[in-house]
Each structure stands twice: as C-alpha cells, then as structure tokens.
Chains A and B, each alone.
Chain A
Amino acid sequence: MSRIGVFVCHCGENISRTVDVEQVAKAAGEIPGVAFSCDYKYMCSDPGQNLLKKAVAEQNLDGVVVAACSPRMHEKTFRKAAQAAGLNPYLCDMANIREHCSWVHEDKKLGTVKASDIVKLMVERVKKGKSLAPITVPVTKKALVIGGGIAGIQAALDIADAGHQVLLVEREPSIGGHMAQLSETFPTLDCSQCIMTPKMVDVANHPNITLYTFAEVEKVEGYIGNFSVTVRRKARSVDEDKCTGCGICMTKCPKKKIPNDFDQGHGMRTAIYVPFPQAVPNTPVIDRENCTMFQSGKCGVCAKVCGPGAVDFKQEDRITVEAVGAVVVATGFKLYSIDRKPEGSPIQGYGEFGYGTLPDVIDGMTFERLASASGPTGGKILRPSDGREPKQVVFIQCVGSRAREKGISYCSKVCCMYTAKHTMLYHHKVHDGQAYVFFMDARTPGKGYDEFWRRAVEEEEAVYIRGMVSRMYQKGDKIVVMGSDTLVGVQVEIEADLVVLATAVQAQDGADLLAQKLGISYDKYNFYSEAHAKLKPVECATAGIYLAGACQGPKDIPDTVSQASAAAAKVMTLFSKDQLERDPVVAKVNEKYCVGCLACKKVCAYGAVEEKEIRDRQGNLVKVVAYVNPGVCGGCGTCQATCPSKSVELDGYTDEQIMAMIEAL
C-alpha cells in the first residue's frame, strides 16, 4: 500500500475563494493509499515547504501530491522540497486546482467537487509512478551568434571575453548593422561610428571569435548544449585570406553607379565593394548581379589590378557545419516602408502620403545618412530631388506605428527620441532652417531622455505640433503637408522642402523563416517571443536559444546592449557546467515489442527518434527498432499515443498511470 501525502494550498484566497480547501484535504485523506493530508495558506512559502518536508519524514511518505497552482509555476519548488526530504523528486506531482479550477469557476460547491477529482487523479498517477534519475548531457562550450549588429557584437564580445568560443554569423558583407548607419546617437549626441567601429574591430581581432560575414544560417539541429548548425558562406568572389583590403579594385571598377543600400540607396557604389569604409572585415564583395564580368563575361579589371590575386570569379558558396552549445539570435529590425503593399498584406502603405512616390519624402534612416559625415552628401542636409538645402523640414512621428488601421498597433519606441535628435542635427547644420514635428505624444522614458527632448523644443527651436498628418502632396517644388494641431484646434498646412517620416520598426525580412529553422516562436509581427515577458526576457521557450536586441521588439541602443549582455550571461551560465541535467520525462522504447514500423519517427516534432539495428552475436541483422535519443526528446508523448504496438512509453506518463487516472473518475 502506498503512503501518499496530499497538501492542499489556499493560495491566499485565489483557491479558497471558490474551493473548500478543508473539504478537499479531508476527501483526499479518504483515498486509499493516502497516508496524510492537510491544507495550508501558502504551500510555496518557507513554512509551507517545511510542512511538506516534515510530513515526508514523519509520516514516511513514498509520494506527494501538492494541490495548488500550475506545475509551470511551482513544480520545481515542490520537487526540490520533496528531494530535500529524501523523496525521489519525480514522485512529487502537482494537482492544478487554481488555473484549472478555482480561477475559472464561480460555484464553490461544484468547484470543490472538481478540485477533489483533480486531486484523486494525481494521487493515482503518483501511486503508479517510478523513481526517475535526471538525464545528463554534455555541453559544447561554443556559442553561435546570429546577426552582427550592435546586439550580436555585444553578445559575442561578452561570451568571448569569458573565455568561450563564439561563431558570429552576419548576412551582410560587413558587421555593424543599423548602428553603423547612424550619424549621432541620443541622448548624448556622440558619433555612432566612433563608438561602434572599435567594437567591430574588437570582434575581428578577438582570438575566441570566428566571424562569418556574407553568410546565413541554413539549418539548426539538436538541442541545448548540443546544436549542430549549418552555415552557408556565400561566395564573395574575393579570397579573404589573400585580400589585403587595399581597395584598388573598387577604385578601378568601371561600374560605379549602383545605389548603395548602406546609404539607403542615396549614395553610389561599385560592383566590387565594401558597404562603407570602416567595414569589418575590410574584404570587398562582388555584387554578381551588377558585375559586368558575371553578366557578360568581359571586364575582369578588378582581378587585373589586384596585387595579391585575391579576386576569384569562380568562388562558390561554402557550407560549414559547426557544433555549438547555445544560440544567441540578434537579427535586428527593418524600417516600415510607406509604399503600396502587395494585395492581401495585413500591413498597409500610406496612399495619403503618395505611397513613397514623392522624392523629398524620406524615412528617418535616410535622414541619418544625410546627416552623417560619411554619408552620400558628406554630412550636409541636402534634399534628394534637386540637392538643395531644405529650409522647412517637417518631421512626422508614428508613421505606421500605433496605427491599427495600417496593421501595426505597437509603439516603435525609438522614434520620439530620434526625431528630437534629427531636429537638433538639422538646426546645427542649417541655422536659418525651421523644423516642425507632428506628434501624438512624446514618449521619453529613459535616463536623460526627457531632458533631451525638452532641449529640442526649448533650445533648438523645433516647433512641435500635436496632431497627425492627413495628407501630403507635391505643389511645384514644395510638399504641402496637411495636418491638425489638436491643442489649438486648427488645421495646419505647411509647405515643406523636405519631409522625414519616423516609420515603424519592423522585424527583419525572413525573421519567421529563421524562427522556423530554430524552432522558436514569434508573434504576429514576426518579432521573436521571449519565454516570459517579465522574468525571462532574453530566453526563448526553446532551451539553449537566447534573444538580443530588436529582433524581440523595438529597442534603442542602451536597451539592446543591456539585453545582449544579459543573453551572454545566460550563455555563460549554461557553459559554466560540463554536463547539463535534463528532466527525465522522455520516451523509452520497449525493443522486445517494437516492430520497427517507425510511426513514432514520423510524428516526432523534435526529431528524437532514430532507427536502431539489433544484431545477433554473429552480426546478423535481427530487426530494426525505434530508438529515442533522450537528449533530444521533448517529452510530449505523441509517439506513445501513435505507437500501434504500445511499445513506446513516456516516463512519468506511462499507459498504466494514465489508465489509473481515468479509472479513478
């Protein structure tokens, strides 16, 4: 006969309001095999846990059921307490009478009956339960960081500085990301490149960091501590080992008029190029679509002038497979475009702003490039259409953000601050110019942020107009901006020379596809989901994968750097052990009965099922059976439900246990 202890929690009033906990404890005491039952106000508190420990010892209990909240909340707490009292932790289970009962019911009488039933089920399960030992898996102490913007750079440097190997993979030819594009940064107006480029160089020089630029993660397999990642290193057409970065190829390339994405298409580059002079690595890439050699087979000037002979037109993509123990995802963001969206897109463009057809209506990032000393205008604010210096500039905030009718309801968080910064940069460069800002409200939570915004308004003479813009159109060489000033209650019309839109921050293109490769979840805007909004902000629900920066949601630089360091700290914690303990709730195959149909392999979402050959002593193949890799198994039980010969079972959820639970009702 079992000796089970049942502990019923009040959860303050969360449970006891709609469940008669004393009655539940009393009823539990009458279940055969229950040796002890009681109720307590807060089981998770220290006295509560002590109550459990004491009862296990004094009553000589061989199983425990805690009737309280969800096991997601406190299973670990109580299993630890049971273990401390000398019980196998897997013989301690929770009956969820809060989320599954008291929170969703109003009738106390019926609630009490249901709670008693839930307790009864769990008692039966524990009765048939077995002692389990945690599984240990080795940890590969090397991290993969995806994305080489400030988030990825910071995470990579932190992990590498702690003495671990890091593989940093960046899609573009250079690391640096969006931060390298910025002119000056709020709230201190320090030059973005000046603080960014040293970190980029540190990455390149760090002995523990392997840098793959112009590369993409193709496949991720495995599990925490033991991932296998496949990286495609796209053909640069330039041999990194031979290239000295002298740049003569770029000066001689005859194709010179290709819009440079780094300058938002406003600067020009050659077909063999580095995106910007401070690029890391400083090895050029040939843009094959625009290269005369690749398009017509004639030219090859770059190869002729290259002293070390680094240009290699025949270079092919290289596939590299690497073993890593943890992954930091830092893929960043892109900016919303007001262009007409394809039919059926849930996100809409701005027809009232001309769908991006007015040349002097630009986005915030383009303004950054215009204001940047390394930008296409050498830091002069000149408008795209005719290269004139604009004397009236209208800035518009919340374009696409907080606009449910356009398909995006969230706040992009950085626009209020960078627009204030833009007005200052403009005022510093064009002394007789006037900046206007249309805004809904100024959101300035951050150290020194509100002071910065006030400075834009009070000292730098930006005119802030609280209201939205309904329409803009070209009139001669001006753009007429029609909006409202809701504080004064009048309609406003401004004839602007340049309009700058603070467009929404969106998840990177292909963010969803990468998430599917990684097996992590994302929201409807394709931002990656953290495991817990407050308490696990850098972890994914998938163990061993961490998030840094704007791929998780719009973020400014300080927040991004903090999150990147936090993700790095999580990786270091993981790497602090040689072996990793995992929950032993995994499937096991009974090889005697398994007929090798491998139906389980087809349904396994984790790819944990392998084929195993059974041979006799002479080495003759007897049969093929399924084998579940305990390191990979997620413990979902789908194989168990699928198996036609009932020869695979999940520890902790065996058929015997489940049947006993059903029979108890």
Chain B
Amino acid sequence: MTATKKHLNYSFYPGCSLHASGREYDISTRAAFKALNVGLKEVPNWFCCGATPAHNVDELLSLSLCAKNLAMAEEVEGDLAVACAACFSRLKVTQHHLKADDNKRKQVEIAIDGPAALGKPVKHILEILARDLGLARLEESVTKPLMGLKVASYYGCLLTRPPGVPELDDAEDPSIMEDILRALGAEPVKWSHRMECCGANFTLSRPGVVLKLSGAILESAQLAGADCIMVACPLCHSNLDVRQASIEDKSRTDYDTPIFYITQLVALALGVSGTKLGFESVIVDPRPLLTKKQLL
C-alpha cells in the first residue's frame, strides 16, 4: 500500500527575469510543476524585488519592496515558490533582517502601510522538488531518465549564502542539485566551480569581469567532463549562455556548453516535449546535445 500523497499547492513569485530574458525558466517551471501535478498560482500584481540595485542604494527601499510582495503573496494560498536565485535571496534576506530587527520592521511596516509577512514560508523550487515533493516521488515520476547526461550543477552565489539565511543547504558544500539530478537519472559531475561567482551584474557595466569569471566556470566544467551546465538563476544563465561566444573568442577555446535551467531538465525527464521548453530561444543550442543523447 502506498502512502497517501498529499496534493501540493504553491503561490508563485516569478520575478522580472522570468517574464523577460529568462522566459524559458518560467515556461519550464510551469511545465515541470504541471507534470508533477503540483499547483502553482502566480501572485497577482507582484512587482520587482529590487534585486541588486535597490539594496545597494537604499536598504529601506529594498526591504520594503520585498515586504510588500510578501504581504501580497500572503493573499494566495500555499508557501511561496520562487525560481530566481536573486528574488529568493532578497525575499529570504528581508524576512531574516525584519525578524531580527524590530525597528527596521516598524519602519518597513510604515512604508508598506501594513504588516510584513514574516511568517510566509519562502521556498526555492529546488527545495520544493527535493524536500516537499521528495526525491523518491520525483524519481517515481520520471518517464524519460536523462541517461548518460553529464551535468555540472552550478549553484552560484545566492542560493545558499549567506550562511544561516536561505537555509537551503550547506552554504559552501551543498548537494541538493546533485540529488535532484540523480533522481532524474542524470550524472552529476564533480567539479570545482559550483560555488563561484559568474560576474553577475557586471555583465553590463564591466563585461570583462564576467568574461573572466564565467570563463573560469566554463573551463572548469569542461575539465570535469561535463556535457552541460545546470543553473537555477536567470542571471547566471545569461552570463554563461549569452556571453559564451565572447568568452570563446577571448580564450580561443571552443566550449559549446549548453546551459540548462534545472526545470528544463526536470520537465524533460518527466516526459514534457522538448519543443515546449524554450530550447530554441537560448544562444548555445542544447538540441544537438540532447539529440545525441537521445533525449529529444
């Protein structure tokens, strides 16, 4: 007899990137959740979390933007699912700061004209897949195991740091992505640069920095024998994917390493058609690799 499987339902904060440059992340998240029969309801009228610029300029503004979004999310049933690593980080950091500092919380509550939703659980989709749903159930749901696909799972800066804030996994040596990959039947490679910075926002102001840092990540993944890199952040994706040609030019190396969103691989393994996951809209085309591995 199988245990009763409770139906999971989440409110969803996509964030700006998922409606723009990271559209594939949005499409594939919804596809994966649908395939898993997990409910996902977008928070109405959500707006930008403030991302990096807000907290660099004005802490109160940054905290208030997130607090207001959290307050609106409170209106939708279910824990708040977040896909973007930066939105996740900002929402978690806001809750952390406001819980720790009553004065700040009061200021923010004046700014947003209402209570800050400090109790609303904010969850990254990695947590939802690996813990709420569970690796066993995820593995059971796989219809097309990603056999033979060697994946370098890339965490970047924000998913696990600073220690004690996101509470997603060990801050410096996490394993949640690898665990999910194994459940999908893929082969996570052991590599050195899973926690390094891709260069993030410098992609616009000082692209040289990104070429160097993202270049090191691509090089390290290639040395480890990875076919592709898996990310959970639209900005990391953009730097590794969009800048890959410039990095190749600069380093005179041919990487040709497709960059996947975690949900693209999840959806693919769950049997969602490869034509519906936005593979056509990225720069480094993953389809030749997937065809070679007989996964399309």
7 smallest beta-carbon distances between A and B, as pairs? A351-B172, A473-B192, A351-B173, A352-B172, A355-B173, A351-B170, A475-B192
Inter-chain CB contacts under 8 Å: number:
22
Q: Judge whether B172 and A473 touch: CB under 8 Å.
A: no
- Contacts A471-B195, A473-B192, A474-B192: A340 and B163 contacting too (C-beta < 8 A)? no
Q: Complex formed: what's the CA distance from A423 to B192 in Å?
A: 28
- Cβ proximity bits B159-176 to A, threshold 8 Å, 1 near / 0 not: 000010000001111000
B: number of interface residues (CB 8 Å): 11
For B173, the closest partner residue in chain A by CB is: A351
Residues from chain A with a CB closer than 8 A to the CB of B90 are none
Most buried by A among B163, B173, B223: B173
Q: Judge whether B172 and A350 touch: CB under 8 Å.
A: yes
For B163, the closest partner residue in chain A by CB is: A405
Residues from chain B with a CB closer than 8 A to the CB of A352 are 172, 195
Residues from chain A with a CB closer than 8 A to the CB of B105 are none
Judge whether B68 is part of the interface by a CB distance below 8 angstroms. Answer: no
Residues from chain B with a CB closer than 8 A to the CB of A348 are 163
Grouping DSSP codes into helix (H, G, I), strand (E, B) and loop, the B interface class, with mixed when no group exceeds half, is loop
For B192, the closest partner residue in chain A by CB is: A473
Residues from chain A with a CB closer than 8 A to the CB of B170 are 340, 351
**Could you list 8 A-B pairs, sorted by A, with CB under 8 Å?**
A340-B173, A350-B172, A351-B171, A352-B172, A355-B173, A471-B196, A473-B193, A480-B192
Judge whether A537 is part of the interface by a CB distance below 8 angstroms. Answer: no
For B223, the closest partner residue in chain A by CB is: A475
Judge whether A607 is part of the interface by a CB distance below 8 angstroms. Answer: no
Nearest CB on B from A427, distance (A):
30
Q: Complex formed: what's the CA distance from A475 to B222 in Å?
A: 12
For A353, the closest partner residue in chain B by CB is: B172
Residues from chain A with a CB closer than 8 A to the CB of B192 are 473-475, 480
Q: Complex formed: what's the CA distance from A350 to B171 in Å?
A: 10
Q: A471-B195, A475-B220, A475-B223 are in contact. List 14 more A-B contacts (CB 8 A).
A: A340-B170, A340-B173, A350-B172, A351-B170, A351-B172, A351-B173, A352-B172, A352-B195, A354-B173, A355-B173, A405-B163, A473-B192, A473-B193, A480-B192
Residues from chain B with a CB closer than 8 A to the CB of A351 are 170-173
Q: Complex formed: what's the CA distance from A351 to B170 in Å?
A: 8
Residues from chain A with a CB closer than 8 A to the CB of B173 are 340, 351, 354-355
Q: Complex formed: what's the CA distance from A348 to B170 in Å?
A: 11
Nearest CB on A from B164, distance (A):
9
Nearest CB on A from B11, distance (A):
30
Residues from chain A with a CB closer than 8 A to the CB of B171 are 351
Residues from chain B with a CB closer than 8 A to the CB of A480 are 192
For A351, the closest partner residue in chain B by CB is: B172
**Which residues of chain A in 216-259 are interfacial with respect to chain B, using CB atoms and an 8 Å cutoff?**
none
Nearest CB on A from B192, distance (A):
4
**Which residues of chain A in 458-475 are interfacial with respect to chain B, using CB atoms and an 8 Å cutoff?**
471, 473-475
- Cβ proximity bits A396-427 to B, threshold 8 Å, 1 near / 0 not: 00000000010000000000000000000000
Nearest CB on A from B167, distance (A):
13
Residues from chain A with a CB closer than 8 A to the CB of B220 are 475
Nearest CB on A from B169, distance (A):
10
Q: Complex formed: what's the CA distance from A473 to B170 in Å?
A: 17
Most buried by A among B172, B192, B195, B220: B172
**Which residues of chain B in 132-190 are interfacial with respect to chain A, using CB atoms and an 8 Å cutoff?**
163, 170-173
- Cβ proximity bits A346-361 to B, threshold 8 Å, 1 near / 0 not: 0010111011000000
For B219, the closest partner residue in chain A by CB is: A475
